[in-house]
Chains A and B, each alone.
Chain A
Amino acid sequence: MEVIATRPQSFTQTPFTYCPGCLHGVAHRLIAEAVDEFGLINKMTGVAPVGCSVFAYKFFNFDMAQAAHGRAPAVATGMKRARPDMHVFTYQGDGDLAAIGTAEIIHAANRGEHISVFFVNNAIYGMTGGQMAPTTLPEMKTTTSPYGRKTDDIGFPIRVCELLSSLVAPYYIERVSLLSPADIIKAKKAVNKAIQYNKEGRGFTFVEFISTCPTNWGIDPIKSREWAKENMLPFFKPGCFRDKGEGVES
């Protein structure tokens, strides 16, 4: 019988720790497939954040580091500078990257650090139980914005791709969604491009995934995707913000 789908080599046998309906598994798989496809498994390394994906270092079948909250881009910088012959990525959530780790992501991007950053935006803190994130939408209720996010009090969600696009050095910045099979195919292309540019040593590459959190949103997985399409995509518009390989400058 012909095998048409199998577990990527770039995954260990460790079972995921994610909730049913969570899209981290999809994002992980896209990265693992890209590493396989570009033949990088023996020279790849990544950094797991603090958040739901804190155990990502167990899931990828190559050397991995686990970083303090928000510090993954700094850790990845140290790794890339120490092992320039290796390919380094970080995998971070919105609390990790866009709140506590704001300085680290901006400066890693600004240096044009030769790493790939995969950023999962689901508008909430998942692991700690559904608190407000820097990407939480206006009026969205979370455990620390129980009356809804009030923009006159706590401001608006941060659009990270747009923010990083103001910098000169980043080579590739794209926002994709994981909300439908068609979107996932587009996301796969973006991940592959980031890994390809990483392999070629082009510079800093960044892919944001619009994702969901059925558990903490309190919405079932299918409806979560519909909710995100209706509410997140108008604010976090998918698109390519920077692709120096294709001459795209924002």
Chain B
Amino acid sequence: MSKVLMKGNEAVAKAAINAGCRLYFAYPITPQSELIEYMAKMMPTVKGTFLQAESEVAAINMVYGAAGCGKRVMTSSSSPGISLKMEGISYIAGAELPAVIVNVQRGGPGLGDIQPAQADYFQATKGGGHGDYHCIVLAPSSVQEFADMASDAFDLADKYRNPVMILADGMLGQMMEPVEFKAPKTDAEIEELGHQHEDWCICPNQDGDAKHHHEINSLEIDPLVLEKHVNDLYKKYDVIIANEVRYETHKVKDDNEILVVAFGTASRVVRSAVDELNAEGHSIGLIRPITVWPFPYAEIAKAIGPKVKKVYVFELNTGQMLEDVKLAVNGKVPVDFWGKVGGIVFTPAEIKAKLEACF
């Protein structure tokens, strides 16, 4: 397939439909409006469901209902709306339902602004809602990757019966880049996907089996049963941690003097600065977590070469992933941080100046 020039918001929506998503529930919010508008336009053309809910709270609960029926379902929002969805995401995680949530982050706290930010990292990776649970969180750094993550997210959600969040931002949502799409799933493939969970989900009792009784539920009033349920969730999370960590390294070498860690939009800016400094004779490696949960702790530790005197973290927040990087580095070398807030994206020149000051 040839490449098309598209905004990230539209590309991820198209890719979700290609991946077999036929149910989408959401509420309008900037800067993800193009996503909901694309779905409103395109879902009817594939006989899918587009529903503009009365709130983000209602939208995520519609997702809970549809996911409980074992179908591929997605919602999207931006930071304040994602906060509203957190109750429902906790229920989805507790009831072990497959669902995809896209967060096109903007500046916070509160109503914040509508510019790109990465300030929802804690919310996305450390729970966000109540109780012991995790979402799998994918952080794209280009429109192409944003789109590619749609099918990846649905596959992971189905594989682990777990909510998957794509943690993008206003830059990736609004920016246009050339994108190549995977072939859309056929109707037969989508039909098959729709039956894959029928051993546990809400579905017609085809055989009239008197014992057919599936429950979609996160309530376990008996403490010993809830204890086992949470422990089982964490056994599942251990499998996810062992199998699904994704990251990218760029110019990570044995002679690196500095190792830089950045994700998403921030990593693109940082990469330009790293390339310039390497061209000028320095040796700086970049590691970009692609899954921010599960986080590539061991991979970051491994990327710290023998000559690295500092690990530098850059984020569009006040230092959230920084805490995970410090856990990964575990005191081996100093960890420095610089970030920008307010929805302002730093420039390569600013990053370069910060890194030059290390020499």
Which residues from chain A sit less than 8 Å from chain B, CB to CB? Answer: 12, 41-43, 45, 47, 54-55, 57-58, 61-68, 71, 74-83, 85-86, 103-104, 106-107
Contacts and interface: CB of A to CB of B under 8 A. Distances in A.
Contacts of A106: 54
Interface in B16-59: 23, 25, 49, 51, 53-55, 57-59
Contacts of A86: 202-204
Contact of A77 (B55, B62, B210, B218): B62
A47 to B, nearest CB: 7
B212 interface: yes
B213 to A, nearest CB: 6
Interface in B54-68: 54-55, 57-59, 61-68
A62 B215 CA distance: 9
B62 A78 contact: yes
A47 B65 contact: yes
B186 interface: no
Most central of B51, B65, B205, B208 by chain A CB within 10 Å: B65
B58 A74 contact: yes
Contact of A107 (B58, B71, B88, B203): B58
B200 to A, nearest CB: 10
Interface of B: 23, 25, 49, 51, 53-55, 57-59, 61-71, 73, 87-88, 91, 95, 201-206, 208, 210, 212-219
Contacts of B64: 65, 67-68, 71, 74-75, 78
Given A68-B88, A78-B25, 6 more contacts: A42-B208, A61-B210, A62-B213, A63-B216, A68-B64, A71-B58
Given A43-B205, A57-B217, A58-B215, A65 B55 contact: no
Would you call the interface of chain A mostly helix, strand, loop, or mixed?
helix
Contacts of B49: 81-82
Contact of A57 (B57, B71, B215): B215
Given A42-B205, A103-B54, A104-B58, A76 B212 contact: no
Ranked 4 nearest A-B pairs via Cβ: A78-B65, A78-B62, A74-B61, A82-B69
Contacts of B91: 67-68
Contacts of B63: 78
Contacts of A107: 53-54, 58
A62 B58 contact: no
Contacts of B70: 82
A64 B215 contact: yes
Given A79-B65, A104-B61, A66 B73 contact: no
18 contacts: A42-B204, A42-B205, A42-B208, A43-B204, A54-B219, A58-B215, A62-B212, A63-B201, A64-B202, A64-B216, A74-B57, A74-B59, A77-B65, A78-B62, A78-B66, A79-B202, A82-B71, A103-B55
B23 to A, nearest CB: 6
